Amino acid sequence: MSRRVFWIVAALVIVVLLGALYRGRYLLLSKLGCWLDVGGRPQPSDYVMVFGGSEEVRPFVAAALVKAGYARKALVVKIDTSPDENARLMPPIHEVIRQVLIHRGVGPESVVLIDRPSVDTFGEADALGAFLRSAPHAQAIVVTTHFHTRRTRWAVRRVMGEMAGRVCFVSAPSDEFVLERWWENERGWERITSEYLKLAFYVLRYSPGRVAAVVGEVLVIATAIIYLWSRARSKRALADAAS
Amino acid sequence: MKLPPRRKWVLRLAITVVLGLCLFLAREPILRACGRMLVVDEQANDNATIRYIWLIDAAENFGELGAAYDLAARLCSEDPSRTVLLIEAERTQLVRAQIVPSYETVSRRQLELRGVDGKAVTALDTPMSFWRAVRRLRDWLDQRPEGGVVAICGRFRSRHHRLVLDRVLAPGQAARVKLIGVSDGRFDETDWWKSRLGAKEFFAGFSSLAYAWCHGEDTLDPPTWDPDKYEAALLLGRGHKR
List, in sequence order, the alpha helices (H) in A135-207: 149-160, 186-206
List, in sequence order, the alpha helices (H) in chain B: 5-25, 27-37, 58-61, 66-78, 93-96, 103-113, 130-142, 158-168, 171-176, 196-214, 227-235
Please report the number of interchain residue pairs, chain A to chain B, with beta-carbon separation below 8 angstroms: 127
- Written out in words, the top-level CATH class of the domain with range B47-214 is alpha beta
Q: Domain segments of chain B: what residues?
A: 47-214
**Residue A126 contacts by C-beta under 8 Å, 6 or more apart in sequence?**
A116, A118, A159
CA pair distance B68, B65, nearest whole angstrom: 5
Is the Cβ pair B129, A186 closer than 8 Å?
Answer: yes
A33: in domain? no
Select the residue of A64, A183, A185 nearest B234 (Cβ to Cβ). A64
A42: in domain? no
Instruction: Work out the average pLDDT over A124-129.
Output: 92
Whether residue A4 has pLDDT greater than 80: yes
Instruction: Work out the average pLDDT over A128-153.
Output: 92
Look up residue A182 and give its DSSP letter: G
Angle at alpha carbon of residue A211, lines to A207 and A216, rounded to 5°: 150
A73: in domain? yes
CA pair distance A48, A141, nearest whole angstrom: 5
Q: Which residue has the higher pLDDT, B233 or A211?
A: B233
Residue-level pLDDT at B20: 93
Residue-level pLDDT at B2: 65
Whether residue A87 has pLDDT greater than 70: no
**Residue A120 contacts by C-beta under 8 Å, 6 or more apart in sequence?**
B196
Q: Which phi and psi angles does B214 have, rounded to 5°? A: -85, -35
Contacting residues of B for A100, CB less than 8 Å apart:
94, 97, 99
pLDDT in tens, chain B (242 residues): 566 666 777 888 899 999 999 999 999 999 999 999 999 888 766 677 888 898 886 545 544 578 888 888 998 888 888 889 888 777 788 888 888 888 888 888 888 988 888 888 888 876 778 888 899 889 888 888 888 899 988 889 999 999 999 999 998 889 889 998 888 778 888 999 998 888 988 999 999 999 999 999 888 888 888 899 998 888 887 555 54
Which residues constitute the domain of residue A181?
A: 47-206
CA pair distance B119, B84, nearest whole angstrom: 9
Highest mean pLDDT among A31-35, A113-117, A131-135, B103-107: A31-35
Contacting residues of A for B207, CB less than 8 Å apart:
189-190, 193-194
A41: in domain? no
Q: What is the torsional sign of CA A125, A126, A127, A133?
A: positive
Residue B55: enclosing H or E segment and its boundaries? Answer: strand B50-55
Whether residue A123 has pLDDT greater than 60: yes
Select the residue of A90, A189, A230 nearest B106 (Cβ to Cβ). A90
User: Do B176 and B50 form a contact (C-beta atoms < 8 A)?
Assistant: no
- CATH number for the domain spanning A68: value is 3.40.50.620
Is the Cβ pair A100, B97 closer than 8 Å?
Answer: yes
A119: in domain? yes
pLDDT level of residue A169 (50, 70, 90 thresholds): very high
Total domains in the fold of chain A? 1
B184 CB-side CA count, 13 A: 28
Residue-level pLDDT at A88: 62
How do residues A58-70 score in pLDDT, each as one tens digit?
Answer: 999 999 999 998 9
Min Cα distance A13 → chain B (Å) is 26
Amino acid at the residue A202:
Y
A192 to A7, A33, B150: CA distances (angstroms)? 36, 7, 32
Residue-level pLDDT at B63: 46
> Crossing angle for the helix pair A186-206 and A121-134, nearest 10 degrees?
60
Contacting residues of B for A173, CB less than 8 Å apart:
223, 225, 230
Which three-class secondary structure state does DSSP give residue B43? coil
Residue-level pLDDT at A1: 61
User: Do A116 and A133 form a contact (C-beta atoms < 8 A)?
Assistant: no
Instruction: Work out the average pLDDT over A26-45.
Output: 92
A223 at interface of B, judged by CB pairs closer than 8 A: no
Residue-level pLDDT at B59: 45
A121: in domain? yes
List, in sequence order, the alpha helices (H) in A24-147: 25-35, 58-67, 93-103, 121-134
User: Do B180 and B50 form a contact (C-beta atoms < 8 A)?
Assistant: no
Burial class (CB in 10 A: 0-12, 13-18, 19+), A158: middle
